């Protein structure tokens, strides 16, 4: 297919028909990426699927999986007079245990939204009298930029820049989902942008261990149906392979330069995820040679506490066990204007997607 084909309604229709012809029994496939979730709902792709083929939404929203305790750490830093707390804009509304970063700003904290950790680094160079902390969240797609910022800070000898790190890794989350005793996921659409950075090798052991198909998949409507078709063909044939349905962007080796930078600056660490608990090797931390740029170390922050989301059922939503519009608080007490939890805040959150595209059916 050409690039134009991925948005062509006729191509989408042909792929949907091919899926319908292929499926002979019930299957449940999870798309990991929140961007894919929004694409599915905005284009109504789930409504094109044959009865019995179910798409469930995984923990693929970086804002959504950032634990409450990390938000509390960021709020505490924002309350310090010498600190400028920077992060992506949608992080500012994620609830902690006692407020959010917008509330911290309203209370007098210097909290700023930036587009990149490199923007925060530039701010630290302009304002050497302030301690600039970047709240670094996200998957392997955002981690290279955070690594680049730390690498540059080290090269420049900047001692007023640091990262509050909550970077997470996708493969351990997939393993945690598949290890659950009640797991009902038959196959995965792997996030194409993560695979573009990291390549495909990390997924091979998961396919071999759990015997589930995984297909690297893009974000246009035809991309998603193309990946889904390849996944269900494997399921129907009783096969389990790793396939690349996003070859125009993703190579088997990923982006070698980005991977080298990540491996130089970060190392895997057990990481707390919202809704999934502490996952072995589920996150990234700065290597010892870069510890001077670790905000948690610099400011003596305690370990983030486990999540207490109250009425929010983010854990069930992120594990694909609960569709957002099945939550009793959805569009009632929980709205984008007054969110109870992170999945209603983020532009990639499943609850926000359902509110935007399916609120009238709830």
Q: Give me the pLDDT at residue 60, please.
A: 85
The whole-angstrom separation of Cα 262 and Cα 286 is: 10
For the chain, which domains are there? 3-60+176-244 (3.40.50.11750), 63-169+254-298 (3.40.50.11740), 314-356 (no CATH)
Q: Give me the pLDDT at residue 102, please.
A: 94
Low-confidence ranges of the chain (pLDDT < 70): 1-4, 306-310, 360-362
Q: Give me the pLDDT at residue 62, please.
A: 85
Q: Give me the pLDDT at residue 236, please.
A: 98
The pair of three-digit structure tokens given for residue 29, joined into one six-digit string: 């496939």
Closest to 202 measured CA to CA, from 225, 175, 231: 175
Query: What are residue 188's DSSP bridge partners?
Result: 30, 214
Rg (CA), the chain: 21
Query: What are residue 84's DSSP bridge partners?
Result: 110, 132
pTM for the full predicted model: 0.92
What confidence tens digit (pLDDT) does each residue in 37-58 have? 999 999 999 999 999 999 999 9
Angle between helices 221-237 and 9-22 (to 10 degrees): 10
Give the CA dihedral 115, 94, 345, 214, nearest 10 degrees: 80
What confidence tens digit (pLDDT) does each residue in 292-329 have? 999 999 999 988 876 655 678 888 998 999 999 999 99
Q: Give me the pLDDT at residue 7, please.
A: 73
Q: Give me the pLDDT at residue 287, please.
A: 97
Distances in Å between the alpha carbon of 360 and those of 325, 349, 354, 355? 10, 18, 9, 8
The whole-angstrom separation of Cα 320 and Cα 28 is: 10
């Amino acid at each position: 297919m050409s690039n134009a084909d991925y948005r062509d309604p006729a191509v989408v229709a042909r792929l949907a028909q091919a899926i319908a012809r292929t499926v002979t029994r019930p299957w449940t496939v999870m798309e990991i990426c929140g961007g894919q979730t929004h694409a599915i709902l905005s284009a109504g792709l789930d409504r094109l699927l044959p009865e019995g083929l179910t798409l469930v939404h995984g923990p693929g929203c970086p804002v959504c999986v950032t634990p409450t305790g990390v938000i509390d750490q960021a709020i505490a830093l924002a309350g310090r007079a010498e600190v400028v707390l920077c992060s992506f804009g949608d992080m500012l509304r994620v609830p902690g245990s006692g407020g959010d970063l917008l509330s911290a700003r309203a209370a007098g904290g210097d909290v700023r939204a930036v587009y990149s950790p490199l923007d925060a680094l530039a701010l630290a160079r302009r304002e050497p009298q302030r301690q600039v902390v970047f709240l670094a969240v996200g998957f392997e797609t955002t981690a290279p930029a955070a690594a680049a910022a730390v690498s540059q800070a080290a090269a420049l000898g900047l001692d007023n820049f640091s990262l509050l790190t909550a970077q997470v890794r996708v493969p351990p989350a997939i393993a945690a989902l598949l290890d659950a005793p009640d797991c009902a996921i038959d196959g995965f659409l792997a996030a194409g942008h993560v695979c573009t950075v990291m390549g495909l090798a990390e997924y091979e052991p998961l396919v071999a261990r759990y015997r589930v198909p995984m297909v690297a998949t893009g974000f246009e409507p035809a991309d998603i149906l193309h990946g889904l078709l390849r996944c269900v063909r494997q399921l129907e044939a009783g096969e389990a392979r790793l396939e690349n349905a996003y070859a125009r962007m993703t190579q088997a080796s990923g982006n070698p330069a980005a991977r080298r930078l990540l491996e130089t600056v970060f190392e895997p660490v057990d990481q707390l995820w919202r809704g999934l608990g502490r996952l072995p090797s589920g996150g990234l931390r700065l290597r010892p040679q870069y510890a001077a740029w670790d905000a948690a170390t610099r400011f003596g922050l305690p370990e983030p506490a486990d999540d207490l989301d109250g009425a929010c059922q983010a854990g069930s939503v992120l594990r694909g066990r609960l569709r957002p519009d099945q939550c009793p608080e959805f569009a009632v007490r929980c709205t984008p204007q007054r969110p109870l939890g992170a999945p209603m805040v983020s532009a990639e959150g499943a609850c926000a997607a359902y509110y935007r595209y399916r609120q009238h059916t709830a």
